[in-house]
Amino acid sequence: MFVASLATILHADLDAFYASVEQRDDPDLRGKPVIVGMGVVLAASYEAKARGVRTAMGGRQARRLCPDAVVVSPRMSAYSAASDAVFDVFRRTTPLVEGLSIDEAFLEVGGLAKISGSPPEIAARLRTDVMRTVGLPITVGVARTKFLAKVASAVAKPNGLLVVEPDRELAFLHPLPIERLWGVGEKTAVKLRQRGIVTVGDVAQVAERSLVAIVGPAAGRHLHALAIGRDPRRVVVGQRRHSIGSQHALGSRHRTPAELDAVLVGIVDRVTRRLRAARRVARTVVLRLRFDDYTRATRSHTLAEPTSHTGQLLTVTRNLVAATAPTIEQRGLTLLGVALSNLEDDDPLQLPLPIDRHGGSALDATVDDVRNRFGNRAVTRAVLLNRDEAIVMPMLPD
């Protein structure tokens, strides 16, 4: 197990990324509450967040909370270009960059003292370089571990820099609420708070076996390790995704089963195309749901053999939706998502019997080739005709 003895890991996270790009490109928006997204909030400036606006909130609710907000349509190409420019700055800072999303990354700067200075000096210069060359504010946390660096950047937002030195890690970490721990969502937080465990320090005081009894073996061991500052993960360059997914915010309007199916087809079409582009196959399909009361649920199914065939994965996903249909009808649905996991490289596989003679893989490959040459609208599924094309969020390569 490798654990660094010095604070050399940076977590760099752009502030309110989409909204900041809009404010950068339109000076009239600076200092004003900005909402990106018409029907559903994709991003909100800190001026809008101060009024209670949050990402994934319905547009009507957001405008009630902040009636003077400026609402703008998303410009995904602008966000992709800005992300590319920021990652260029990251890679000029250090070759050891692990991207987490288009607006955040871990950077390891431990071997750069003689040529670039101390980690805090490098972090400060990184923030200056991003603002000077890309025109965007960025917050950086510096710590000995990935977990602490990410928490530090969250605490320092917006547009801040926070260094957690090794000798004050627990003094920094333990007063924080339990929600700062990776893996503590709403349900886990309720379980812990019911037992009087409200801070990270409280978690650290609980024996590991007691945490296991409360939240389960894997989560219990994970939370106990984080609460005492143990996180041996290194910054890894070029690490491949563990899953490939997409989701679609539905807003508050009731959707018929046919409308939900059309949304589902579009999502599965996108994620399977990404899967094949990355030359990977998936064994597990995960359905993600968010209901009208903002509670969430997941359903999953694991196949006997991994695949990248759109038709096969769509059938599995439709079956998961059908099994959940009574709950959706009763509780409504505001978000639908699909993730493909248990990924493997798309190496030549022994074909399972009976062999598919209908050419599913050949059809997928042909459709992918046509779209790559002539654009996404060149060929589509009939159920998606005359429907607005879903917003595709920019992301790092799969």
Enumerate the known binding-site residues for Mg(2+). 13, 103
At residue 147, φ and ψ (nearest 5 deg) are -60, -50
Tell me, rounded to whole angstroms, the distance of Cα 137 from its chain centroid. 20
Structural tokens at position 127: 């923030």
Structural tokens at position 105: 């990354």
In sign, the C-alpha dihedral spanning 386, 387, 388, 389 is negative
Query: CB-based contacts of 193: which residues, under 8 Å, 6+ apart?
Result: 178
Burial class (CB in 10 A: 0-12, 13-18, 19+), 31: exposed
For the chain, what's the residue count?
398
Binding residue ranges: 13, 103
Structural tokens at position 268: 């599965």
Catalytic residue among 104, 165, 208, 305: 104
* Catalytic residue list contains 104: yes
User: Residue 262, CB half-sphere, CA atoms under 13 Å: how many?
Assistant: 15
- For residues 269 and 359, is the Cβ–Cβ distance under 8 A? no
**Residues identified as active-site:** 104
